[in-house]
Amino acid sequence: MTQPPPLQPPGIPPAAPQNLVDLCRVCRIQAPHRAGRTRCPRCNGILVVVPVNRVADALAQPRPPAPQVPQQRVAGQRGAAAGKVKWIAQRPPEARPAPRRPRITATRTTPRYDQIPTWGLQDLPGGWQEIPVQAQARAESTTFVEAARRMAMILAASALVHLLRYLLVVIGRDRLIPAWLDLITYALVVFAGWAAVAAMAYGLYCFGRWIIAMRALAYRHAHRLEPRPRWVLWLCAVTPLANILSAPFLIREAALVDSPVLNLRNKLEMRKIWIAWALVNATALMAILLRWAGNRSGSLQIQADSLVWVIGSAAVSAAFAWWMIPRLVRVFEPPRAIDHAAVRRRWVNT
């Protein structure tokens, strides 16, 4: 198709092609006439062809309205109506969360504090630093170690008495045993058993006092007071079987407060002591159960087997009291200063 010729305003005579211009009366731009150009490149309005000397007359005529040309959407650009559109991403039905439960609108009681909250601030009593916790901890550590030594010796003696009773039971399977010898060994076993129980009770009592003093010293180093009541500490320290977990918890809690104590070496040491403590309790529990079952069965073989477990439990407990308890006390002892003047030196000629 051929392009229509450019329009020419009425009342303007035709002129030579070299004296003509293409004029847009909308945006008032002009350019030399070129055949085939009918639209303004700026506003897409209709171009008119006028002579050069009549441009002013053409511009004086009324300006036509701007053409309404549909705009093409360009990628990466938003139109005028883009700001009025809100895009909402919807999840697929299988990925949508469950609807929320309706809130309970029933009246509730006003929350109250059992004590006045301090939010980290502590109202320390006056003169709390005057309590000699360090001297108390040192004295309790010494007492606890001495009690552990005595307990170890009593448990070792109990193991020897039960071993003697075991040998007598083994001999009694093939030959007769004098009644006086059986009575003496039985009395020794009973006495040794009660002595071991008393030694264990005294050791637990010293252990509870040591834990209280050691925790007080650890919290003093952290400029704090003991947060747990004293009866809770006693209950966690001396309750059989329950102190397998509660006693290590109290010790580790104090170690976490006292930062110089909590190092890698002490962590491994406390872990070994806790494992040994659990084995001692497990062996003692098995010995008690087998001893009870042997006394009720009336069989010499079952009694002999129970005596083996009692001997093993007493020996393991004695070893724990002799070696492990002093190691536990040394974990919380402050490092001693090295006297370099007392260190011997040997000079070697090179």
| For the chain, percent of residues with pLDDT exceeding 90 | 39
Backbone CA torsion sign across 118, 228, 145, 326? negative
Q: Is 111 exposed, middle or buried (0-12, 13-18, 19+ CB in 10 A)?
A: exposed
Structure confidence at residue 2 (pLDDT) = 46
Q: Are 155 and 314 in contact (CB under 8 A)?
A: yes
Q: Which residues contact 221 (CB under 8 A, 6 or more apart)?
A: 257, 258, 260
Question: Residue 181 pLDDT more than 80?
Answer: yes
Mean pLDDT across 47-54: 83
In one letter, which amino acid is 73? R
Cβ neighbours of 267 (radius 10 Å): 14
Interhelix angle for 264-297 vs 243-257, to 10°? 170
**Of 326 and 126, which is predicted with more confidence?**
326
- 31, containing H or E segment: strand 30-32
pLDDT-derived band at 15, boundaries 50, 70, 90: very low
Residue 107 pLDDT > 80, yes or no? no
Distance, first Cα to last Cα, the chain: 114
Instruction: Look at residue 325 in the predicted model and tell me its pLDDT.
Output: 93
Of 279, 286, 282, 287, whose CA–CA distance to 166 is shortest?
287
How far apart CA 206 and CA 44 sit, in angstroms, is 103
Q: Are strands 20-24 and 30-32 parallel, antiparallel or unpaired?
A: antiparallel
What pLDDT band is residue 310 in, cutting at 50, 70 and 90?
Answer: very high
Q: pTM for the whole thing?
A: 0.61
The two most distant CA atoms of the chain are separated, in Å, by 159
Residue 61 predicted with pLDDT over 80:
no
Which residues have C-beta within 8 Å of that of residue 6, sequence separation ≥ 6? 22, 33, 37, 38, 47, 48, 49
Find the range with the poorest average confidence among 67-71, 111-115, 151-155. 67-71
Whole-angstrom distance, CA of residue 350 vs CA of residue 345: 15
Entry field: residues in the chain: 350
Structure-token match 């402050």, residue found = 334
Between CA 282 and CA 304 the distance in angstroms is 20
Statement: residue 198 has pLDDT above 50: yes
**Pairwise CA distance, residues 252 & 328, whole Å:** 12
Q: What percent of the chain has pLDDT over 70?
A: 81
**302, pLDDT greater than 60:** yes
